[in-house]
Chain A
């Protein structure tokens, strides 16, 4: 008998419905074959399905079984077809009744007949909603991803025998109620480093606050041991929580890559990703014959921290140029073209030269001019032009280091901790969210030029200052617009309520832009 069960395949961030056709023949040599361009993980589904059925107390039929994954010309991968194949076989043997209402079956089987956490459930739920398919049978550990989407019924299935009982009307599976974004915790979670633990570096902290508030890219340069890495890691603690739309976008990517932990639904923490300089270009940008998102997409709406920036291969760094500008990355392979969002805030850290002490007031630099040139040439003009804030992180004075633990009692009030800075950042983001409502833009940094004219209120004095700066320092048109964006963020952070860009805001923005030492 022939049965058809509905499941889905993923391509990029889209899920397409796949019909799993199962035929159990009454005659013919016993065998089990799967057709319809399956990859190795689906081939292995045979053994998983067979063992899971036997361990659920069902006699696996010694008959000829053919499974077709239709449409047959789309390559399929992943372990998610285990459940639809098992249900198809059971229905063909007339052991269960498939519901008349169209339903998605999705999930990997364990050998004991249980269902395992399977990636991509969130994308499946989105597809179900747009296709008007009501019911979803998904593994219990992944079901929370589906419950985030309203208007569908997500049934958390813990084992095959439980589902058999439910489909036959013997037992009950309670469908999950809709989880609303607001109900999830967005409270402060302590990270490795707190800003109050970093001694000195007040100007760097201020620049970090601006970068976090407006989502601006930032580049730090300084000798080894000055605290660049610490600053970057502490930034994770001042990032605002994701708003609802941002959260949905991030969850899409995390669901596709299987980065959502079992039992979790929406991602509410802003991503903070670090990539080592040995990360391959495809690992960073995304790619592969079946295109997968890279680190830049995994840090969408969050932060990507690249330590030892010039140590990255030149080709990897230059590949960042287009996503930095567009906030998305298009990957084209034979299988097709996929666009992943990649609107991230870049934090890059570097030494000024190979030995690290160029321009240091106390220690002599031992590099030859040729070595310094070679090192700095790694960071091309067009790439650095896309970074809004350039800061120097000098070595901390020994007097300050010694003084800090003893005087910490008295001066603690003066040093802002991460929690306080985060409040400022959240307030600035609230203003931005209000400003760009309905535009799918969340930060000043992702404004396009047309938005600047519409949203930024620049006073005459500021314009004059900008004009002078562009003429004196030969700044590019892109830099000009980026300066305005940073000025806007500084205005949003300031206590004045007008949000008007004033000359002192522009002056501060300029100070982060003009690099003097190199």
Chain B
């Protein structure tokens, strides 16, 4: 039950993030790319940089802000998945020489309206 609900929220977040990034001039290459380590929410590109994007969406701030949910372990997981993706798609690796890991954090209010979208580029811990 809960799992289904999570997936619904994830889907919602990815939709909002993809629209937002398209508006910023990104080209969306993949959505929900599966690896054995997990799932990359979005893979996009802009200015010849391949970007792996983690999307977080939160309804209300009762349990903290979305940024708090992205820590060292989450980022290293995304990094591992990114390496896996590049191995899996040597063509992509040949085209793009620069990569970055980004996060898009979305806050949704009680009424379902998007309150805030923050895009953090090139994360490192």
- Asked whether A28 lies within 8 Å of B120 as measured between CB atoms, the reply is yes
B125: chain A residues at CB < 8 Å are: 31
B123: chain A residues at CB < 8 Å are: 29
A29: chain B residues at CB < 8 Å are: 67, 70, 103, 120, 123
B65 interface contact, C-beta 8 A: yes
B103: chain A residues at CB < 8 Å are: 29
B70: chain A residues at CB < 8 Å are: 29
Q: A29-B103, A31-B125 are in contact. Are A62 and B67 (CB under 8 A)?
A: yes
Find the residue from A28, A29, A30, A62 having the highest chain B CB count within 10 A.
A29
Q: Which B residues, 77 to 125, have Cβ-Cβ distances below 8 Å to chain A?
A: 103, 120, 123, 125
CA distance A29 to B104 in the complex (A): 10
CA distance A62 to B65 in the complex (A): 9
B67: chain A residues at CB < 8 Å are: 29-30, 62
CA distance A29 to B102 in the complex (A): 10
Residue on B nearest A31 in the bound complex, by CB: B125
Q: Which B residues, 51 to 66, have Cβ-Cβ distances below 8 Å to chain A?
A: 65
Q: Interface residues of A toward B: which range?
A: under 10
Residue on B nearest A28 in the bound complex, by CB: B120
Q: Distance (Å) between the CB of A419 and the closest chain B CB?
A: 65
B65: chain A residues at CB < 8 Å are: 30, 62
Q: Distance (Å) between the CB of A293 and the closest chain B CB?
A: 38
Q: Distance (Å) between the CB of A343 and the closest chain B CB?
A: 50
Q: Distance (Å) between the CB of B123 and the closest chain A CB?
A: 5
Q: Distance (Å) between the CB of B5 and the closest chain A CB?
A: 26
Q: Distance (Å) between the CB of A200 and the closest chain B CB?
A: 71
A28: chain B residues at CB < 8 Å are: 120
A30: chain B residues at CB < 8 Å are: 65, 67-68
Q: Distance (Å) between the CB of A51 and the closest chain B CB?
A: 14
Q: Distance (Å) between the CB of B50 and the closest chain A CB?
A: 19
Q: Which A residues, 167 to 210, have Cβ-Cβ distances below 8 Å to chain B?
A: none
Q: Distance (Å) between the CB of A487 and the closest chain B CB?
A: 70
Q: Distance (Å) between the CB of B24 and the closest chain A CB?
A: 16
Q: Which A residues, 1 to 37, have Cβ-Cβ distances below 8 Å to chain B?
A: 28-31
Q: Distance (Å) between the CB of A462 and the closest chain B CB?
A: 77
CA distance A62 to B120 in the complex (A): 13
A31: chain B residues at CB < 8 Å are: 125
CA distance A29 to B67 in the complex (A): 8
Residue on A nearest B64 in the bound complex, by CB: A62
Residue on B nearest A30 in the bound complex, by CB: B67
CA distance A31 to B124 in the complex (A): 11
B120: chain A residues at CB < 8 Å are: 28-29
Residue on A nearest B68 in the bound complex, by CB: A30
CA distance A28 to B118 in the complex (A): 10
CA distance A31 to B103 in the complex (A): 13
Residue on B nearest A64 in the bound complex, by CB: B120
CA distance A425 to B65 in the complex (A): 69
Q: Distance (Å) between the CB of B90 and the closest chain A CB?
A: 30
Q: Distance (Å) between the CB of B15 and the closest chain A CB?
A: 23
CA distance A30 to B116 in the complex (A): 15
CA distance A28 to B123 in the complex (A): 8
Q: Distance (Å) between the CB of A271 and the closest chain B CB?
A: 47
CA distance A62 to B67 in the complex (A): 8
B68: chain A residues at CB < 8 Å are: 30
Residue on A nearest B123 in the bound complex, by CB: A29
Q: Distance (Å) between the CB of B121 and the closest chain A CB?
A: 9
CA distance A406 to B70 in the complex (A): 81
Q: Distance (Å) between the CB of B58 and the closest chain A CB?
A: 13
CA distance A30 to B125 in the complex (A): 11
Residue on A nearest B70 in the bound complex, by CB: A29
CA distance A166 to B93 in the complex (A): 58
CA distance A31 to B68 in the complex (A): 8
Q: Distance (Å) between the CB of B20 and the closest chain A CB?
A: 17
Q: Distance (Å) between the CB of A47 and the closest chain B CB?
A: 13
CA distance A31 to B65 in the complex (A): 12
Interface string of A440-472 (1 = CB under 8 A from B): 000000000000000000000000000000000
Q: Which A residues, 136 to 171, have Cβ-Cβ distances below 8 Å to chain B?
A: none
Interface string of A104-132 (1 = CB under 8 A from B): 00000000000000000000000000000
Q: Distance (Å) between the CB of A455 and the closest chain B CB?
A: 67
Residue on A nearest B71 in the bound complex, by CB: A31
CA distance A30 to B123 in the complex (A): 10
CA distance A28 to B124 in the complex (A): 10
CA distance A108 to B9 in the complex (A): 42
CA distance A464 to B30 in the complex (A): 104
CA distance A109 to B70 in the complex (A): 27
12 A-B residue pairs with CB within 8 Å: A28-B120, A29-B67, A29-B70, A29-B103, A29-B120, A29-B123, A30-B65, A30-B67, A30-B68, A31-B125, A62-B65, A62-B67
Given contacts A28-B120, A29-B67, 7 further A-B contacts (CB under 8 A): A29-B120, A29-B123, A30-B67, A30-B68, A31-B125, A62-B65, A62-B67
